[in-house]
């Protein structure tokens, strides 16, 4: 992998990741941009203890531009773009409309391909591996920034999820706090260790492998399953067979084996509801251990992939119980979801 670091016209960092060592990136950003002015504020919910980010400047962010004005396409034919090269492989840059800014974290955009119409599932295994390497590199860099406690790599796909730029991309958030979901998981991991002397992630994956009914696919280095108490209609958790706390700790065998497993899962998601249905909207989220936590080795890196679509033409909305009380009600039995995900395996 070759990494080329440059800046955009307003001073934001832009990083090219190329599979070839002889790749040359020299294009400069010609846009007359002014410096980004953004201020985020972290407030604490006194009733739950959860941090809440206030980022009112994001109201002006780019919203569903026409395809010929996509800011994530390469700069061809005079197009104004966030990426000044005429072609690229994988690119990471600082978000112009960040949720976290002004010394309280950082937000980055990850472009997986320069093809406006391609999805992650369309990538080659080589390109998917390059994305994994970019996620890993950014995790290392962002975790070293002052005040950063957790690095979160994720992708939202589909308007149903709230995506406003259809070009295939994801994001990376460097949180100046431990996310509420992670904090709750850490408490459970600690409780399990005190009660049993064992690791919760190890026991969970071992139970799923022994039961087998919710397993979606397995390889020598990865296990994918629908969790016993899945929140979402179709939800898959992907764990490395050797528990590690973060992307940095994955060994080469797991890195090499990731792309075929992940691409297969994404392609199965697109086949869930039949060939006449539009691409399946989903969220794909890496869960990594917080940095600076003395117990971080007990955390298990894993990826959670889920969709809000519950049936053809029907979405799972967060209704009163979920939004108001955080009490999820799932319309699809996890065992049935796992069976369906096995049925749509690639031939």
Q: Which residues are catalytic?
A: 169
Task: Specify the pairing of strand 169-175 against strand 150-157.
Answer: antiparallel
Q: Phi and psi for 145 in degrees, rounded to 5?
A: -70, 145
| CB distance 254 to 221 below 8 Å | yes
53 vs 93, 96, 145, 344, CA distance in Å? Answer: 21, 17, 19, 39
Task: Please tell me the distance from the alpha carbon of residue 168 to that of residue 115, in angstroms, as a whole number.
Answer: 8
Beginning with the edge strand found earlier in the chain, give each strand of the sheet holding 106-111 in spatial order.
2-7, 13-18, 90-94, 106-111, 169-175, 150-157, 282-287, 302-307, 234-240, 222-225, 215-218
- Residue 232's Cβ-count burial label (10 Å; 0-12, 13-18, 19+) is buried
Strands, E assignment, the chain: 2-7, 13-18, 41-44, 51-54, 90-94, 106-111, 150-157, 169-175, 215-218, 222-225, 234-240, 282-287, 302-307, 309-311, 314-315
Length of the chain: 347
Nearest to 307 by CA among 275, 287, 286, 330: 330
| CB distance 255 to 132 below 8 Å | yes
DSSP 80-100: --SB-SS--SEEEEE-SS-SS
Six token digits for residue 61: 């962010």
SS3 311: strand
Query: How many CB atoms are located within 10 Å of the residue 94 CB?
Result: 20
Q: Phi and psi for 57 in degrees, rounded to 5?
A: -65, -15
């Amino acid at each position: 992998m070759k990494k080329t670091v440059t800046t955009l016209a307003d001073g934001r960092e832009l990083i090219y990741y190329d599979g070839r060592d002889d790749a040359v990136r020299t294009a400069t950003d010609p846009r007359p941009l002014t410096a980004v002015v953004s201020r985020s504020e972290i407030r604490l919910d006194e009733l739950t203890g959860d941090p809440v980010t206030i980022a009112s400047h994001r109201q002006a962010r780019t919203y569903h531009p026409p395809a010929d004005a996509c800011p994530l396409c390469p700069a061809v034919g005079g197009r104004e773009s966030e990426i000044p090269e005429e072609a690229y492989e994988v690119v990471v840059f600082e978000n112009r409309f960040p949720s976290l800014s002004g010394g309280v974290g950082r937000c980055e955009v990850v472009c997986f391909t320069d093809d406006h119409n391609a999805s992650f599932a369309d990538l080659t295994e080589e390109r998917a591996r390059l994305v994994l390497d970019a996620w890993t590199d950014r995790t290392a860099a962002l975790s070293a920034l002052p005040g950063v406690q957790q690095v979160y790599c994720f992708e939202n796909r589909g308007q149903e999820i709230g995506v406003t730029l259809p070009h295939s991309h994801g994001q990376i958030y460097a949180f100046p706090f431990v996310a509420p979901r992670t904090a709750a998981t850490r408490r459970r991991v600690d409780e399990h260790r005190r009660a049993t002397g064992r690791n919760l992630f190890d026991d969970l994956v071992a139970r799923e492998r022994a039961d087998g009914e919710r397993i979606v696919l397995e390889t020598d280095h990865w296990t994918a399953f629908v969790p016993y108490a899945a929140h979402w209609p179709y939800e898959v958790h992907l764990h490395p067979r050797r528990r590690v706390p973060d992307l940095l700790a994955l060994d080469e065998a797991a890195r090499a084996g990731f792309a075929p497993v992940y691409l297969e899962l994404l392609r199965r998601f697109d086949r869930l509801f039949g060939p006449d249905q539009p691409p399946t909207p989903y969220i794909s989220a890496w869960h990594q251990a917080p940095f600076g936590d003395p117990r971080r080795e007990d955390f298990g890196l894993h990826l959670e992939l889920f969709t809000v679509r519950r049936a053809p033409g029907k979405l799972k909305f967060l209704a009163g119980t979920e939004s108001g009380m955080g009490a999820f009600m799932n319309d699809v039995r996890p065992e049935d979801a796992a069976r369906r995900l096995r049925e749509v395996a690639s031939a």
